[in-house]
Amino acid sequence: MMSAPTLENPHAPTSAAQHIAIVDGLRGLAILLVVLFHYWQITWWVIPLPFTEGRINFEMIQYAGALGVELFFFLSAFCLAYPHAKVMLGKGSLPSITHYTYRRAIKILPSYWLAMLLLLVLLPEMYPTSAQRGYWTDILMHLGFVHNLFPDTHGSINGVFWSLGVEVQFYVIFPLLAWGFRRKPWLVFALMCAVALIYRHWTRTLPVGEFINLNNQLPGFLDLFGGGMLTAYLLVWVREQGTSVLSAVKSGMGVIVALALLTMLLLFNDLYQVRFEPDSYPIWQSQHRLFFCFVLIAFTVAATYAHAVCRTILANRALTFLSLISYNLYIWHQVIARVIKEHGWWTAATPTPTDDPTWRWTMFFIAFIASIIVASLITYCFERPLLQYGVKGCWIRLKDKMAGYMAEDRSSIELKGNT
């Protein structure tokens, strides 16, 4: 007897893969930072500390929220390098190039293509395509993930798409970097840092317009990507030292977490203090990115092996949920807030909405809730089925469901005819 065709996807994520809870928490924190930054720009609502009447607030963290993108880059490299780090220490096996390519494509492309289609059809005026390049050329550049290379297409179609260009370009060179990293991890990390430092120093000598564009290109982020790769290696290396060593260093890891968190807040404050200086944000990023990278390395490794309470706090349910929907929330949060604001769907008591204190905070929450709903629907109904079953598997499941519905309809019609 022939068995029924399987719907299993050979490229689906395996349950045997070890899960790093801290990474989920950090990814949730990354998307939260980005949302806080963009919604601060859109609403100008400064989040107050409760019961302080606004005298103490979180504007410093909101302003620094754009650094969440840099945290995303760091975590992306960590996740890609983690299987390689395990192999370096005699654990697990390497994914094939086919598996690697498929997993990157099925994760990035469907939601990206869906967003491009909906924005081009429904909201073409929000982020217009480049008049200089032309409509179809701009679309082709986005499909090829090279749109971020040029100022006129850097923010077209969707303002957050520039970072996906950087991400995919890193995916292309990662197999080569991983080959060297498995042999000489510290050397590869040092070379990536050196390239990033030299590149950023060069861009700071250019006219400000050129600098701002070049500051957000792949070479300028190589130290962050390298830091994520090195963190994966260090995390596995520490684990291999055995439970006795881990127990001995647990309290020390907690101290490192606290110091890293304090240092991160000091960095945020340093960025906040120069906010009124011309072009201060990209200049600060260019000068402090490597330091930020080292803080992330220390924080991630230490938090993974600190006391369980630390992991529970950092990988709480809220951040883990945000991590799960982070990709689609990243794509849609700014668009949704702008649509609500610019179409007047949430009215204010003043001609300029941001002059209305009530509008500012209510708009923030309305947009945040709407964005979470949209991102959740796309994640659970579109992204995750594709990740689990693949395109072919989803198509087969869809056909089976449609056939089942049609069979039920025929049965109900026959029953009615017999009565």
Indicate whether 18 pLDDT > 60: no
Percentage of residues of the chain with pLDDT beyond 70: 92
Mean pLDDT of all residues in 398-402? 81
Q: Tell me the average pLDDT of the chain.
A: 92
Mean pLDDT of all residues in 9-30? 73
Q: Which of 153-162, 177-186, 249-258, 335-344 has the lowest mean pLDDT?
A: 249-258
Residue 405 has a pLDDT of 73
Indicate whether 410 pLDDT > 90: no
Q: What pTM value is reported for the model?
A: 0.92
pLDDT tens digits for 117-156? Answer: 999 999 999 899 998 899 999 999 999 999 999 999 999 9
Residue 53 has a pLDDT of 86
Indicate whether 5 pLDDT > 60: no
Indicate whether 397 pLDDT > 50: yes
Indicate whether 194 pLDDT > 60: yes
What's the 3-state SS for the chain? CCCCCCCCCCCCCCCCCCCCHHHHHHHHHHHHHHHHHHHHHHHCCCCECCCCCCCCECHHHHHHHHHHHHHHHHHHHHHHHHHHHHHHCCCCCCCCHHHHHHHHHHHHHHHHHHHHHHHHHHCCCCCCCCCCCCHHHHHHHHHCCCHHHCCCCCCCCCCCCHHHHHHHHHHHHHHHHHHHHHHCHHHHHHHHHHHHHHHHHHHCCCCHHHHHHHHCCHHHHHHHHHHHHHHHHHHHHHHCCCHHHHHHHHHHHHHHHHHHHHHHHHHHHHHHHCCCCCCHHHHHHHHHHHHHHHHHHHHHHHHHHCCHHHHHHHCCHHHHHHHHCHHHHHHHHHHHHHHHHHCCCCCCCCCCHHHCHHHHHHHHHHHHHHHHHHHHHHHHHHHHHHHHHHHHHHHHHHHHHHHHHHHHHHHHHHHHHHC
